[in-house]
Amino acid sequence: MTLDALGAILLIPTISAALLAILPGYMLAARLNIAAALATFLTSLSLFVIEPTSGQYLLLDDLNKVFIVLTTFIGFTTSVFSASYIHHEIETGRLTPAFLRFYHAMYQMLMFAMNLALVANNIGLMWVAVEVATLTTVLMVGIYRTHEALEAAWKYFILGSVGIALALFGTILVYMAARPAVGEGLDGMVWTVLVKHAAQFDPALLNVAFVFLLLGYGTKVGLAPLHAWLPDAHAEGPTPISAVLSGLLLNVALYALLRFKMMLAVNSEAIAPGPLMVTMGLISVIFAALMLYRRRDIKRMFAYSSIEHMGIIVFAFGMGGPLANFAGLLHMAMHSLTKSAIFFAVGHIAQVKGTQKIADIGGLTTTNPVLGWGLMLGVIAIVGLPPLGIFMSEFLVVSSTFARAPWLTVILVLGIIIALGGLFLRVGVVMFGEPKGKTAPAEASYVPMFTHLGLVLMAGIYLPPVLVTGFQNVAKLLG
C-alpha cells in the first residue's frame, strides 16, 4: 500500500506519540506536539486537493472530510493552548516533567485514535479506535491524581467501558444481520459494502443492533440519561483535555452513530432511527439546561452546556432532511470551535485564580480584561445570541423543524432559553461581580481562543459559498 494522506494523518500522530514518550524536556516536547498537530492538520487539508482512494480499511467521503478537518484543526489549536497551559502547571508543581512526557504521548495517541475512528471503513476498526480514544482520555483525566480526578477517571472508565461494550455488541449484531446478504469474512464489516447491501438485511436484527449502538455510542456522545461520566471527566482533567473532549471526542462518537444511521436509512423495513435520536436529544437539552442553574464549578458548568449542545445536534440529525442535517452539521462545527475556545479561557482563568469554584472567582473583566472579555464573548456565542455562528445554526435547526414538528420545536427553544438564563446567571457573577481571588496578570496564549471566536463570528456574518456547498453535499449524503 502506498502512503497517501489518509495513511499520513494516522502515521504522523503515531510516530510523534512514540517520540514524545521517550523525549525528555517538556518545552521541546510541547513544541514537537504543536508541530505534529500542525503537520496532521496540513495533511488533512490536502485531502481537498488530492483525494486518496478508499480501500477496505480506510475510507474518505464528504462526510468524514468535514470531521477530519475539524478534528485536526482543533487538535492543533489545542496543542498551542496546551503548551502555555502546562508551562504554568509545571511552575505551580501540579504536574511533574515525567507526567508531561506521558501527557504529550497520550495527546498524540488520542489524535491518532480519533483520526482512525473517522477514516475507518471497517465497523470493527472504528469500534477499536473509539475504545482506544476512551482509554487514553481516561488516563489523562486521572493525571492529577487528586481524589476528585481519580473518582472522575474511575467513573469515566467504568461507564465508558460499559457503553463501548454495548456498542461492540451492536456491531456484532450488524455483522450477523449482514452475513446472509454479504457473506462471511471481512466484507461483512466493511461499511461501504454494508451500505450497498443494507436493503436486504434482516430488519428485526438491525433494529436491535441500532438500539445497542445508540446506547453504546450515545454514552460517549454524552446524551442524557447516559451522561453521568461527562461533567466529572471535564471538570477534573487538565483543561486542554476538557477542550478536546467537548470539542472533538463527542463528535467522533456522534460520527459513529451517524454512519449506522445512514445504514439503517437504506433499509426501508427497519425502524427509523430519527425519532429515537430526537427524543434523546430533547431530553438532553432540557435536562442539561436545568442542571446549569445549580453549578458551582465553572468547568462542570460548561460540561453541562456541552451535553445541551450535543442534544441539539442529535436532535437536528434525528429530524433529518437536507436542511436539518445542514443545520446540525453547522451547529456541530460551531459548538466545537466555541466550546474549545471557552475551555481555553477557563483554563487560564482557573490558573490565574487558582480555583475552579464559581464562588471564588469574581470581577474578571476588571482584573483580567482580555481573558474576561474573551470568555464573555465565548459565552455570548454559546448561548446563541446574534451575530455569532451558533445563533445562525440554532436558528436553522429551529426554523427547519418548525414546519414539520412545531411542538418539538417549542420544547427545543424552551431548553435553549433556559440554558441561556442559567449560563448568564452564573457567568455574570464571574464577570462583573466584586473582584475576588488572585489578581496576577495571566501568562496566557490568546491566539487559539480568539482564532476560534473569530471563526465563529465570521460564520455568523458570512458563510463562504464553498463551505455552504460542501456542507450541503454532506447533508444530502446523510439523508
Partner 1 sequence: MSSLQFDIAHLLAGSLVLASFMMLYQDRLYALLNVYALHAGVLALSVAWQAYVQQAPHLYITALIALAFKAIIIPVALHRIIKRLGIHREIENVIGVGLTMMAGIGLVALSMVVMLRVTPGADALAREDLAFALSVVLLGLLIMVTRRNAVSQVVGFMSLENGLVLAATGAKGMPLVVEISVAFSVLIAFIVIGIFLFRIRERFDSVDVQALDRFRGERR
Contact residues for partner 1 (CB under 8 A)? 124-125, 128, 131-132, 135, 138-139, 142, 145-148, 150-155, 157-158, 161-162, 165-166, 168-169, 172-173, 175-176, 179-180, 183-186, 188-189, 202, 204-205, 207-208, 231-232, 235-236, 295-297, 300
CB nearer partner 1, residue 210 or residue 326: 210
C-beta of 426: minimal distance to partner 1 in Å? 13
Q: Are 400 and 472 in contact (CB under 8 A)?
A: no
Closest approach of partner 1 to the CB of residue 232, in Å: 6
CB 368 within 8 A of CB 442: yes
Cβ-based nearer residue to partner 1, 113 or 381: 113
Q: Which of 52, 65, 17 is nearest to 37 (CA)?
A: 17
CB of 202 to partner 1, least distance (A): 5
DSSP letters for 61-85: -HHHHHHHHHHHHHHHHHHHHHHHH
C-beta closer to partner 1: residue 113 or 420: 113
User: In the bound complex, what is the minimum distance in angstroms from residue 230's beta carbon to partner 1?
Assistant: 12
Q: Which is nearer to partner 1, 271 or 385 (CB)?
A: 271
**Phi, psi for 114 (deg, rounded to 5):** -70, -40
* Helices first, then strands: H and E counts in the chain: 20, 0
Residue type present at position 272: A
In three-state secondary structure terms, 464 is coil
Cβ at position 55, least distance to partner 1 in Å? 14
Peptide bond into 464 cis (omega under 30): no
Long-range contact set of residues 171-178: C-beta below 8 Å, sequence gap at least 24: 171/123, 171/124, 171/127, 171/209, 171/213, 173/205, 173/206, 173/208, 173/209, 173/212, 174/123, 174/206, 174/209, 174/213, 174/260, 174/263, 175/123, 176/205, 176/209, 177/201, 177/202, 177/205, 177/206, 177/209
Would you state the cell numbers that stand for residue 438, as one nine-digit string? 488572585
Kindly tell me which of 113 and 408 has the beta carbon lying closer to partner 1.
113
Number of other residues whose CB lies within 10 A of the CB of residue 352 = 22
Minimum Å distance from CB 148 to partner 1?
A: 5
Q: Which amino acid is at 396?
A: L
Cell of 214: 445508540
* DSSP-derived secondary structure for 112-159: HHHHHHHHB-BHHHHHHHHHHHHHHHHHHHGGG--HHHHHHHHHHHHH
Measured from the CB atom, is 235 or 314 closer to partner 1? 235
Angle between helices 26-45 and 62-92 (to 10 degrees): 170
Closest distance of CB 19 from partner 1, Å: 20
Smallest separation (angstroms) from partner 1 to the CB of 131:
5
User: Closest CB to partner 1 among 301 and 333?
Assistant: 301
Q: Closest approach of Cβ 207 to partner 1, in Å?
A: 7
Question: Partners of 357 in the beta sheet?
Answer: 297
**Shortest Å, Cβ 297 to partner 1:** 6
> At closest approach, how far in Å is the CB of 205 from partner 1?
5
d(CA 78, CA 402): 36
Q: How far is the CB of 188 from partner 1 (least distance, A)?
A: 7
Task: Give the nearer residue to partner 1 in terms of CB position, either 104 or 295.
Answer: 295
Alpha helices in 245-385 (DSSP H): 250-266, 273-291, 298-319, 322-353, 364-367, 369-382
Choice between 297 and 394, CB closer to partner 1? 297
| Residue among 69 and 128 whose Cβ is closer to partner 1 | 128
Nearer to partner 1, 151 or 443 (CB): 151
Nearer to partner 1, 42 or 128 (CB): 128
> How far, in whole angstroms, is CA 159 from its chain's centroid?
18
CA distance 428 to 379: 10
